[in-house]
Amino acid sequence: MTLTNFNYAVGDYCDELIAPDGTPRPHAARLVSYFDAMEPRELVERQRAANSTIADMGISFTVYSEGDNIDRAWPLDIIPRAMAGSEWDRVEEGLVQRLKALNLFIDDLYNDRRIIRDKVVPADIIDSSNNYLEACRGFSPRHGVWANVCGSDLVRDRDGTVYVLEDNLRVPSGVAYMLENRTVIKRVFPSLFGNLNIRSVAEYPTQLSAMLESIAPPERADSAEIVVLTPGIYNSAYFEHSLLARTMGAELVEGGDLTVGDDDCVYMHTIDGLRRVDTVYRRIDDTFMDPEAFRPDSMLGVPGLLRAWRAGKVGIANAPGSGVADDKVVYTYVPDIIRYYLGEDAIIPNVPTWRCSDPAHLDHVLANIADLVVKPANESGGYGMLVGPHATRADHEQFRRRLAADPRNYIAQPTLSLSTAPTLCGDVLEPRHLDLRPFILQGEDVSVTAGGLTRVALRKGSLVVNSSQGGGSKDTWIIEDAD
């Protein structure tokens, strides 16, 4: 047995650090023995030190409608989540494969539509997608890549299999917390880093910056001016926008700071006058990006930005319209998409999913709703979903009606038994469910973060890991296998 000081008992799930027999998993052996030698009092003290570091560093996230106090301290559990380097290498390959295929898919959709003609993906799925933008038709951004930044959510089921739960291709967030979690944990457990070979995550801002340079207009590549476009301080991810801009040495701009000239170039207003912008890393949604092309009521965007992009005068990451592949119905086709474009089998499997648009699938979902997780096709942040086993009969009934009324907009998946890891609860360690969001960058090249952001459901038994709904986080360690 291990972690006896903390009364740790593995539950009926796959635990990331501890095997079912109570011994540490090989890759986590040194990590676990380090905590094993620790008194609960000391661990609680370290957690307190971590919390005050987080407060001092101002690591926060923003919650809507909290009145004056809009910043909350970022919740970080100090026990790291660890994976073996050899396992991660395979996951990384799978993530690269997936993003390459998805970008080929998006480029095809907005151009030749071969995949629809070949009847691999039905046309109506695309035509009825809220995220398909007609304004992007007949254009191909640099390198043919649309989704330059992808955050795919990974989960591990009871049998140890890692699945992709969803791909976030619009404006995925969380990477700043991955970076900050590592900084905090290094301060809290400096000696552990000396003893273990943990893959670094610190290159991310450099990689992001290189990717953004690679999508600037070719003639501007030498001295590309990059900006991060934020909706402003009230956005829940503002902390991240600001951190990424700062660490890349890029300007953090709002829509009003940018203007598109008669020459279709994008400029920002500075105290020196107008300065040309070559790549916009936009952190605002597609349709708010350009009131001239999309929502005329958007105060956040830049009139003419789409025009500038189509004229090849500016790179935009992610490209407008890339969200078409970030749709939970399209998700169900990803293994087919990979096979179609790359001629390969998907390395990381999808979670088995029922499409409610398919009448046979819908019948199955309606009959088994109490055992399933039902998700709307287009929401993010864990909103608007039903976790069957945790919901009331009235909830089931309400969702049955919604599904019958708008089947295209829903998918259903079995309730996964998400893996757990020891998490400090009071002064004991208890298993808590978690997922993992790695970040994949594709421009001229592709890169993947070593690990990513581990999100953990802090409430006992809960599967909801979103920070806006009581989730916390952990530092994620990819540990090189011992020779």
Partner 1 sequence: MLSRAAERVYWSGRYLERAENTARIVQQYSQLLLDLPPEVGVDWRELIRIFGVADSFAARGADDDETAILQFLLAERDGACSLAYSVQMARENIRNTRDLLPQEAWENINELYRFTRDSLALAAAGENRFEVLAECIGRCQQINGILLGTMSYLSPHHFLTLGQSIERADMTSRIIDVAAAYIQKNEQLVRRYGSTLWTNVLKSVSGFQMYRQYQQPQVDGLRVIEFLLFDPAFPRAIRACIDSALESSEALPRSADTAASLKSVQHVLDSSVVSGMDAAGISALMDDLQKRLAGAHRSVAATWFL
Interface with partner 1 (CB under 8 A): 58, 68, 232-233, 242, 245-246, 251-254, 256-257, 268-273
Measured from the CB of residue 302, what is the shortest distance to partner 1 in angstroms? 13
Nearer to partner 1, 157 or 251 (CB): 251
Nearer to partner 1, 70 or 387 (CB): 70
Measured from the CB of residue 233, what is the shortest distance to partner 1 in angstroms? 6
386-397 as b/e: b if 16+ CB within 10 A: bbbeebeeebbe
Nearer to partner 1, 208 or 440 (CB): 208
CA distance 319 to 323: 9
Pull the structure tokens for residue 418. 């998400």
CA distance 85 to 203: 17
CA distance 248 to 455: 25
Measured from the CB of residue 232, what is the shortest distance to partner 1 in angstroms? 8
Contacting residues for 475 by C-beta, under 8 A, at least 6 apart: 76, 78, 80, 81, 181, 182, 184, 185, 454
The continuous run of DSSP H or E covering 421 comes out as strand 420-425
144: left (phi over 0), alpha (psi -120 to 50) or beta: left
Measured from the CB of residue 271, what is the shortest distance to partner 1 in angstroms? 5
Nearer to partner 1, 256 or 261 (CB): 256
If 0-12 CB within 10 Å is exposed, 13-18 middle and 19+ buried, where does residue 6 land?
buried
CA distance 408 to 329: 8
Nearer to partner 1, 194 or 234 (CB): 234
SS3 334: helix
Nearer to partner 1, 219 or 272 (CB): 272
Measured from the CB of residue 313, what is the shortest distance to partner 1 in angstroms? 20
Measured from the CB of residue 269, what is the shortest distance to partner 1 in angstroms? 4
Measured from the CB of residue 272, what is the shortest distance to partner 1 in angstroms? 5
Measured from the CB of residue 108, what is the shortest distance to partner 1 in angstroms? 38
Sign for the pseudo-dihedral over CA of 205, 207, 208, 209: positive
CB distance 200 to 189 below 8 Å: no
Nearer to partner 1, 99 or 258 (CB): 258
Nearer to partner 1, 90 or 275 (CB): 275
Nearer to partner 1, 247 or 466 (CB): 247
Measured from the CB of residue 227, what is the shortest distance to partner 1 in angstroms? 9
SS3 69: coil
Measured from the CB of residue 64, what is the shortest distance to partner 1 in angstroms? 16
Please give the span between the terminal C-alpha atoms of the chain, in angstroms, as a whole number: 25
Nearer to partner 1, 5 or 298 (CB): 298
Nearest to 419 by CA among 1, 30, 19, 6: 19
Pull the structure tokens for residue 426. 């009071």
CA distance 194 to 275: 45
Contacting residues for 415 by C-beta, under 8 A, at least 6 apart: 371, 372, 373, 387, 388, 389, 463
Nearer to partner 1, 11 or 232 (CB): 232
Give 435-465 as a DSSP string. Answer: EEE-EEEESSSEEE-SS-EEEEE-STT----
What are the φ and ψ backbone dihedral angles of 431, each rounded to 5 degrees?
Answer: -70, 135
Measured from the CB of residue 228, what is the shortest distance to partner 1 in angstroms? 11
Edge-to-edge strands of the sheet including 315-317? 251-253, 226-229, 279-282, 315-317
